[in-house]
A and B are shown apart, each in its own frame.
Chain A
Amino acid sequence: MSFALLSIQYLSLSMISVLLVSLLSSVIRQLVFLSVNVFFIVYLLGLSGALSTIAFCLLGFALVKIHLKWPALRMLYSLSLFVALFIYMRNYEILQWIFPQEILTSVLSTVGLSFLFFKIIHVLIDAKSNTLRKLEFLTYLNYCLNFTTIMMGPIMRYQDYFDQWHGHKQAIKPTYEAHLDAILRILSGLVKAYILAIWVSKLALQPDTNVLQLSFSSWVIQMYGFFFYLYLNFSGYCDIVIGIGSLMGIRPPENFNKPFIAQNMSDFWLRQHRSLTLWLTDYVFSPTYKQALGSQWLSSYPVLSGNLALMLTMVVSGIWHGASLGFLFFGITHGIYLVIYHTWDHLLSKYLGRKRVNQLRKNWLAKIVGIIITFNAASFAFIFFQLDTHHLLQLFNGLLRS
């Protein structure tokens, strides 16, 4: 974690922000929150990182405005421009093999850029579809730069932020118990991320592990260890920011729900990094699957269409997670998992009928088998997530030779 949420600076900034956002009103409230957010980003990223982050948001806003003014304009151009800019700023490893070093930059790659990128794409598409509610400049900027979620999500939707900011929707019940719950949530998040995760990290796979030299048992322990480490670290972080957000009146969406007891891969992704899964479903999976089902070639092959859309979604998810090669393999592996699950589910209901499949799913033995398979498959895929490119290639080389 690049910025210590346990630090006295972060926790005091949060408490100041909670007080100011609760006490102030109207434009002053917007401007004060904006100052808090900008202060945080400068503190976190330095001046150049902060400037590139803000410029990225402003470009997004300009594109949204252009589309609102000229509705006939095709989305494809601005989306491509924005994606290209993101790929450049993110400094993908693969770019080094295509372009000369001189034109590449790592200066612009800032913490949270991927999250910001998805938030802005969502605003752009929803604005174009007339489903955004009202686009307001300051609300938009604070939505993008919101210090609780800028580093690692959860990915909030603009409409949700808008409704909570303007008091149309309540982030937290106005009771003593609800506020105490939020504070306890922050504390439990701190325990998860700073005590348990650090303890478990000693057992977890490291980026520079030579996997082939491990014994079977230590390989399994390190693989499971990394899954638990990642869960404790990320869900602990989410507990902290959801707690702070609740107190401030802008509660980010839930992100984790016991991913180890997922019964299949589709269930897994609704329990693990859920806000990302829902974003990918809405803006990658649904449009591609819908396009495929409505097209001439693929409309008579619904299972194939679904599989193609699932694979594409997971590849996007993989390369969104990080700039190195391992993340691409992480995405492809999960794509394969979902394709297998989707095809299996289709065949089962074709031969047994939907009702019998649903009955079967309620059977405890089927549940346990599902949980064991899913848990192991998910743990395995995290190897690609964790290993750096050098050690990943070393692993592949070793496997090919044997």
Chain B
Amino acid sequence: MNEEIIWNRLTEIFRDVFEDEDIVIGPETVAQDILEWDSLSNIQLLVAIEKAFDGVKFNTGEVANLKNVGQMVDIIIHRSKE
């Protein structure tokens, strides 16, 4: 899948989960950058991503070690079947 499409779709998911239309994300974005990004909304976000990208699944170790949005996108690029 085209990386630009991934970023656009991901931005939409972020805005939807965190209920904030002004959110802008990049590879270096981390949880501390978004006020609402806590352990609960983190999982809501990951589940929303898994639903939006066919074939994408995050396992427990990956969830524990995700450092920034860039790593999220890497996993999506590798696993997405579209």
Say yes or no: A131 contacts B40, CB within 8 Å.
Answer: no
With known contacts A293-B47, A294-B50, A354-B19, A287–B38 Cβ distance under 8 A: no
Q: Which of B19, B36, B63, B65 contacts A290 (CB 8 A)?
A: B63
Give bound CA distance, A126 to B62, whole Å: 8
Q: Binding site of A, secondary structure by majority: helix, strand, loop or mixed?
A: helix
Complex formed: what's the CA distance from A396 to B71 in Å? 50
Distance in angstroms from B30 CB to nearest chain A CB is 15
Q: Is the interface of B mostly helix, strand, loop or mixed?
A: helix
List of A residues within 8 angstroms of B35 by Cβ:
358
A125 and B65 contact, CB distance less than 8 A: no
B39 within 8 A of A: yes
Instruction: Report chain A residues within 8 Å CB of B58.
Output: 290
Shortest Cβ distance from residue A129 to the other chain B in the assembled complex, whole angstroms: 2
Q: Could you tell me the distance between the alpha carbons of A286 and B46 in the complex, rounded to whole angstroms? A: 10
Distance A283 CA – B62 CA, assembled complex (angstroms) = 11
- In the complex, A226 has a CB within 8 A of chain B: no
Q: Are B62 and A286 in contact (CB under 8 A)?
A: no
A52 at the interface (CB under 8 A from B): no
Q: Determine if A92 is an interface residue (Cβ-Cβ < 8 Å).
A: no
Given contacts A294-B50, A354-B36, A358-B35, contact A129 B60 (CB under 8 A): yes
A159–B38 contact, CB under 8 A? no
Q: Does B44 contact A (CB under 8 A)?
A: yes
The answer to the question of B59 belonging to the interface, with a C-beta cut-off of 8 Å to chain A, is: yes
Report which of A130, A282, A294, A358 forms a contact with B64, defined as CB distance below 8 A. Answer: A282
B46 contacts across to A, CB distance below 8 A: 290
Least CB distance from B21 to A in Å reads 11
Q: Give a binary string over A113-131; 1 marks a CB under 8 Å from any B CB, 0 the rest.
A: 0000000001001111111
**Residues from chain B with Cβ under 8 Å of A126 in the complex:** 61, 64-65
- A306 lies within 8 A of chain B by Cβ: yes
Q: Which A351-370 residues have a C-beta within 8 angstroms of B?
A: 354, 358
Q: Which residues of A contact B65 (CB under 8 A)?
A: 126, 129, 131, 159
Q: Collect the chain A residues with CB atoms within 8 Å of residue B62's CB.
A: 129, 131
List of B residues within 8 angstroms of A285 by Cβ: 39
- Bound Cα distance A290, B45 (Å): 10
Q: A342 at the A/B interface (Cβ < 8 Å)?
A: yes
Q: Does B42 sit at the interface, judged by CB under 8 A?
A: yes
* A125-B60 contact given A281-B39, A306-B40, CB 8 Å threshold: yes
A266-B38, A294-B50, A354-B19 given; A129·B43 CB < 8 A: no
In the bound assembly, the distance between CA atoms of A307 and B3 in angstroms comes to 36
Complex Cα distance A126/B63, Å? 10
Question: Is the C-beta of A112 less than 8 angstroms from some C-beta in chain B?
Answer: no
CB distance from A71 to the nearest CB of B (A): 12
Residue-wise interface mask of A (34-69) relative to B, using a CB-CB cutoff of 8 A (1 in contact, 0 not): 000000000000000000000000000000000000
The answer to whether A282 and B43 touch across the interface, beta carbons within 8 angstroms, is no
Contact with A along B62-74 (1 / 0, CB 8 A): 1111000000000
In the bound complex, CA of A302 to CA of B19 (Å):
15
In the assembled complex, which residues on chain A have CB atoms less than 8 Å from the CB atom of B44? 293, 302
Question: Contact partner of A294 among B39, B47, B59, CB < 8 A?
Answer: B47
Contacting pair A283 B47 (CB below 8 A): no
Minimum CB–CB distance for A13 against chain B, Å: 33
Taking the closest CB of chain B, its distance from the CB of A325, in whole angstroms, is 28
A33 contacts the other chain (Cβ, under 8 Å)? no
Tell me which residues across on chain B come within 8 A of A286, comparing CB atoms: 39, 42-43, 60, 63-64
A289 interface residue per 8 A CB criterion: yes
**Which 9 pairs across A and B sit closest by C-beta, in order of nearness?**
A129-B61, A282-B64, A131-B61, A126-B61, A131-B65, A293-B47, A289-B43, A129-B59, A281-B39
Seed contacts A282-B64, A290-B63; 4 additional CB < 8 Å A-B pairs: A126-B61, A131-B65, A286-B42, A302-B44
10 pairs, CB–CB < 8 Å, chain A vs chain B: A125-B64, A129-B59, A129-B64, A129-B65, A132-B61, A286-B60, A286-B63, A287-B63, A289-B40, A290-B58
Binding site for B on A (CB under 8 A): 122, 125-132, 159, 266, 281-283, 285-287, 289-290, 293-294, 302, 306, 342, 354, 358
Q: Which residues of B line the A interface, CB within 8 A?
A: 19-20, 35-36, 38-40, 42-44, 46-47, 50, 58-65
